[in-house]
Structure 1
Amino acid sequence: MAPTSSSANGRDQENDAHVALIATFYAAFAEGDAETMVACYHPDVVFADPGFGQLRGDDAKNMWRMLCRSAKDLVVATTDIAAADGRGQAHWEADYTFSTGRKVHNVIDAEFDFAEGLIIRHTDTFDFARWSGQAFGLPGQLIGRVPVIPQAAFQQVARRQLASYSASRQAKSV
């Protein structure tokens, strides 16, 4: 049975709303506005990327807060935003100086799932070996080429930094 025009219009409106939500998320990121970014996330959001692994809920939200706070020269460019059938995608590139003082140009593809008009799943994919080479130089190039163990070790460091940030954020709110 073919969809009625009203159901097709409803899907189009939902897709448009999801595209707008993704665009809002990345426009806020480009401005360093973490609170607008995390307002795009569902309370039960699951985020995953090669750097942090999988983060849920407040951990995912605090990761963006931490990154926005620490990124002094971040430039974010987003293209190819699309959404259909409760899923979305975007391509984005970030230029920034990593904590080592090295310049990074990261090329990321993002996938999204939506629930209740918000992002409930966000997965970023990028070349970890390329990124680690930029962020850490020759040691990063070598480490980035070894599968799994160095990436897991990096994720542990990233998660410790996130835990420290989250604890300091919670202490300030008490």
Structure 2
Amino acid sequence: MVEVYLHKRCRNVTCKSLLPVDDCDCKICLGNKGFCSSCMCPICLNFDCASNTCSWIGCDVCSHWCHAVCGIQKKLIKPGPSLKGPSGTSEMQFHCIGCGHASEMFGFVKDVFMCCAKDWGVETLLKELDCVRRIFMGSEDRKGKELHFKTDDLLLKLQTKIVSPSDACNYIVQFFN
């Protein structure tokens, strides 16, 4: 308890990481006493220990995490120059406010769906599809636009019961393959 009071340990009882996590010296960890990059969103400063979701986004470099909703609101999730594609192309990226690194979003979302979607119930599937739809809403690249269209279409079909959750899950997994 003393460590929490002295800001040496995360006050989130499900996390309890030593602070700063991995001796991080970014402006967020240094500027916010008690900030835990493992479980706190640097924008809203709320705890989240979510896993297997597209709503909690991590930086590829410094492992700071951010709510997708917060990242969208603060325009940290936006099109940027492609990190792997041809020069002059763009892709949706999460721009970390901790280290400034841009992490591409398509691969992150693909990994989450390929790994976890088969285990989600209908409510979780709807929530995840809506999150991905919102992430890729402003996409300028072909893959991102197609993903936005596919998630929008699947949401409508699920809500009107035109497709079953298992079929919707299969469609999105096929899209990623």
Q: Same fold (TM over 0.5)?
A: no
TM superposition score category, shorter chain reference? under 0.3
Q: Please state which structure has a larger fraction of its residues in helix.
A: 1
Q: Please state which structure has a larger fraction of its residues in strand.
A: 1
